[in-house]
Amino acid sequence: MRGAATLLRAALGVALFLVAPRAFADKVVVLPFTAASQSLSVKKPELDEARGWAREAVKLRGHTSPSDAEVGLAERAAADGVADTSQEYRAAGRAVGAAWSLGAHVERVDVPARTLPDGSSEEGYSVYRLELEACQVETGRVESLIRDVDGDDAPAQIAEMLTLLLRKEGVANAELPWTKTPHARKAKPKVAPKPPEPPPEPPKPAPPPKPVKPETPPKAYAEGHPIALGLSVGISNALVRPDQARGPSWAMPIGGAVGYALEALPGLELRGVFTSQVLGPRAIEIAGGARYAFPVLPKLRVFVGPELLAGVHVALGADKTARFLGHGALFAAIAVTDQVQLEVAGDLAGAFGGTGTLVLGGATARALVRF
């Protein structure tokens, strides 16, 4: 009988050992962590990581956590989204039926490299200073503990804090075990903040526009070279002649021309011509007058205009007669260069007097040199 009783008590002890953790397990909601006011450089990824350590610590202590959906409901229960008062902690816990609500303020402490008393060197590392707050939802009591935790062993270190915080009597006068046997800090590469991005380079100033060379206006007729000397060759036909005239009516006059362009009146030129008919009826013409040149293609220096001359027409054939001559023409001229000018003209002339009137029509080509 004694053996059976002993066996029964042993089985009961094992059963109590197995169910005890669940019998005393509480539901604990871990709310978002915030950066301590003096450590605003702690970014959201680091705060989320520290919150994850706390959730693992809750599991290590045998407590339960609400589902992700319930956690979202608890977060929304806080008036401003962040629980920092007893009322907000209680509202968040009640929203999911939790016995405890947890929050924390996080500060990153960067420890520089140093030389230890024994002469060895220790690399720089970082720890996180957690001010962990626990609210008992039923009573609204809020207590906190502060501890430096190392990221490599943070869940276990936070679990030690929860052992004292998640008690009905609270922290009370309990001794903090980590102050007697502080957890050894493992050397951890210092979390260096990202270097600030260099300011963007100011945009390079646009290169100054290339100076636009002012377009040189086309030169006027005979500009800079008013004097002209040239030779001409033409063809003429007696459209009207005296009834007693005999022989061919066609002739080829050749000769010269002289001109002087008036710079005060661009385009106006005084002209004088001398021609001698070398083929056909023999005659000479001496006349002077003026012409006006209009630019029709200024860039190409092409000009057209009228020409009016007055002079004498002297027949040298059988009827040696001098007649008054009126000579009109329409000409076109092109300045090949500033000093070389080519011309063509359509001519119509009337010679009056003597034995009868002559009306001559034809064309003339000239080449002139200007000075």
Assigned fold of 227-370: Porin (2.40.160)
pLDDT at 275: 96
CA dist 329 and 147 (Å) reads: 116
Domain boundaries, the chain: 22-180, 227-370
Write down the pTM of the prediction: 0.45
Q: How confident is the prediction along the chain (371 residues), in pLDDT tens digits per residue?
A: 444 444 444 444 444 334 444 446 899 999 999 888 765 678 889 999 999 999 999 999 999 999 999 998 988 887 776 788 899 999 999 999 999 999 999 998 888 888 888 888 888 888 899 999 999 999 999 999 999 998 889 999 999 999 999 988 888 888 888 877 544 444 444 444 556 788 888 888 888 888 888 888 888 999 999 999 999 999 999 999 887 777 888 999 999 999 999 989 999 999 999 999 989 889 999 999 999 999 999 989 999 999 999 999 998 877 788 999 999 999 999 999 999 999 999 999 999 988 889 899 999 999 999 99
Could you tell me if 225 and 339 are in contact, meaning their C-beta atoms sit under 8 angstroms apart?
yes
pLDDT of residue 195: 66
- What is the dotted CATH code of the domain comprising 22-180? 3.40.50.10070
Angstrom distances, CA of residue 58 to CA of 45, 155, 156, 159: 20, 8, 10, 7
First to last CA, the chain: 153
Contacts 24+ apart (CB under 8 A), 237-243: 237/360, 237/361, 237/362, 238/281, 238/358, 238/359, 238/360, 239/359, 239/360, 239/361, 240/357, 240/358, 240/359, 241/356, 241/358, 241/359, 242/319, 242/354, 242/355, 242/356, 242/357, 242/358, 243/356
292: left (phi over 0), alpha (psi -120 to 50) or beta: beta
**Overall residue count recorded for the chain in this entry:** 371
pLDDT of residue 15: 42
